[in-house]
Chains A and B, each alone.
Chain A
């Protein structure tokens, strides 16, 4: 009996010690952060895409959620977010960390935080964005209005349109005017084809004005992608295929296997050498900055 209690108490003591040790390190961290504070509006962004819209306007949020699978900021903006506090994944944000930042305004993605607005209102005034409504241009403009940077927003959009025109010409030169395209994603488990919805739909079929391959427009438009089996790939009859391969080894292997399959080798796009492997980021980051960087990438691919 005594022995058991001793063990129980020593476990507790261990816990107490560890809790204390942790306190010290956290305090050190937070004091460093306070030094880095900027004097402008203190915006906390609870969407990685809104964060990147803000960056497009030259505003660094004081706190932002991170990519769910990456558990970190997206690679193409990580450098810019050195002083930004990580607030956990969008699906389960760290409310205490958010409160600690005492932001003056919180930007919320309706998809993730829509039902918890009252929770956020208790911390600071909250702006809710529905990213499924309109394009990133609309989101950028409404953010521009909120932060008084409407001109920057317009300039960013104008620059983007100009660049898009260039890239569109480059692509047309390479693929021909009437070529139809599709975008797929290879994960360890499955093969997905992107629909006309964000993230891939708007940039390919609207901005670049490419023609969707057969059947793409018939996909359920509520989902960003649909899972397909390899056998139906030829049915899309695409002249060019954009491929996103997940970075994990299993997905890479899956793509290699796919490339060796006779179905793949028989595809029109493969025969015509029009398969373009693109990185998941920035291409799948449907934000102002994400699309701009994707356009840079496209320019590089097609000017070769």
Chain B
């Protein structure tokens, strides 16, 4: 038993190292991607502060914030998906299915429909609205799924999530029909997941969430392990089931709402990353939680880079690429494991 755990830990380190190496190379490629061509050597020069004015402007003002946001967003979505799957004991759970995305979309549509006059502060108001939209849905879902006697039941959580999400999507669709074409295009690009936060202010807004919540989630991985055994066993093992569940749910909501606010309604990452992580490092959360985050990061940065580079000049939203790359791979895994 112990040696099993040890090999799993070792494996986690190897996998994490490989993932970090992959993401470093993708980031380097990503830093090289854009309308202005900078030689790879110059990129590295500039990173260390020896670049000319133009290349440092491009790297530090235009490309770096966007890459950091995709990295942080990917981590947030990956970890949040892993938490939600553990909490609900359902491998299909992800922030999208729980209705958090549709809440965020609702927030966005509300903003572009009724608060268009505040357009000049859009850079910071859109994340705020989407974040609040996500929180609102989470609040409604928890309220509806909460049973006075039994507490928060995982299966009710998912079913309520699906129902609430359908409701919010309907309102979003209704409101979006009344938008003019240009705003509609912007909104629909956002809805499929277009990384649009590109300034340092967005990095600053997202960073604290990930910095605090991701390690916190990791520190709670033992209770996630126990919770995934089922309520009775967990209670028997001395866990305050309801308290922990609410706490972890709040963590997942915070992570995904903050990420979605910056990178758009990207689904799938939250679903796929934990699955891949489980296959790579096993079901223990102290191993697969950080790996989920890393996988989420790799997927999103890769998707955003591909979307920006191959299809120039009409960049494709990262969410589309995620689905296009992720879905077939995910299906392949499912078929193989049968």
Contact = CB atoms under 8 A, between A and B. Distances in A.
Interface of A: 1, 4-5, 7-8, 11-12, 15-16, 18-19, 22-23, 26-27, 30, 68-69, 71, 86, 88, 91, 94-97, 99-100, 102, 114-115, 119, 122-123, 187, 189
Contacts of A88: 313
Interface residues of B, number: 38
B25 A97 contact: no
Interface stretch (B56-64, B100-108, B211-219, B261-269): B56-64
Contacts of B309: 18-19, 22
Contacts of B305: 15
A91 B22 contact: no
B308 to A, nearest CB: 10
A19 B311 CA distance: 11
Interface stretch (B34-42, B76-84, B157-165, B246-254): B34-42
A19 B32 contact: yes
Given A16-B29, A27-B37, 7 more contacts: A8-B22, A19-B29, A69-B182, A71-B314, A88-B313, A96-B58, A123-B57
Interface string B23-67: 001100100111111000000000000000010011001100000
B232 interface: no
9 contacts: A1-B280, A5-B18, A26-B35, A68-B185, A94-B313, A96-B36, A99-B58, A102-B54, A115-B120
B195 interface: no
Given A5-B18, A189-B177, A11 B325 contact: yes
Nearest to B306: A15
Contacts of A122: 57, 61
Nearest to B179: A189
Contact of B34 (A11, A71, A91, A96): A96
Contacts of A30: 37
Nearest to B54: A99
Most buried by B among A19, A30, A68, A187: A19
A26 B312 CA distance: 10
A122 B60 CA distance: 13
B13 interface: no
B35 A100 contact: yes
B186 interface: yes
Interface of B: 18, 22, 25-26, 29, 32-37, 54, 57-58, 61-62, 120-121, 123, 177, 180-182, 185-186, 276, 279-280, 302, 305-306, 309-310, 312-314, 325, 329
A147 B310 CA distance: 39
A187 B33 CA distance: 37
A5 B177 CA distance: 44
A66 B121 CA distance: 24
Contacts of A8: 22
A115 B123 CA distance: 10
Nearest to B58: A96
Contacts of B276: 4
Shortest Cβ-Cβ A-B pairs, 6 listed: A96-B36, A97-B35, A96-B35, A100-B36, A96-B34, A115-B120
B62 A95 contact: yes
A22 B177 contact: no
A16 B120 CA distance: 38
A23 B37 CA distance: 7
A216 to B, nearest CB: 20
A7 B57 contact: no
B39 to A, nearest CB: 9
Contacts of B312: 22
